[in-house]
Amino acid sequence: MSLAQANKNLKFDKRLTERNVTVGEMSKEELQKHLESLPDLAHNVEKFTIDGKNASSSSDESH
């Protein structure tokens, strides 16, 4: 893979988007359009507590 292709693949990488907007590699509007096109995956999250126990099974304490 060429460096140009690698940079293209990283254009919307969360760690680089602010830099890309700042240096003019993409507009804020282009970024916003991309973010709005992403699917909502909120139903795929798994809640947990700091102690590492699954929040949905907190009533299953066997200790």
The predicted pLDDT at position 56 comes to 62
Tell me the pLDDT band of 57, cut-offs 50, 70 and 90: low
What is the tens place of the pLDDT at every residue in 10-50? 999 999 999 999 999 999 999 999 999 999 999 999 888 88
Total structural domains in the chain?
1
Indicate whether 50 belongs to any domain: no
Q: Say what the pLDDT of residue 28 is.
A: 96
56 lies in some domain: no
Q: Tell me, yes or no, whether 18 lies in a domain.
A: yes
Domain of 4?
1-38
Euclidean distance between CA atoms 45 and 23, whole angstroms: 34
Is there a domain that residue 52 lies in?
A: no
Please report the pLDDT score of residue 49 as a whole number: 87
23 is a domain residue: yes
Q: For residue 11, tell me if it sits in a domain.
A: yes
- In this prediction, residue 30 carries a pLDDT of 95
Q: How far apart are CA 24 and CA 42, in angstroms?
A: 31
Domain-located, residue 15: yes
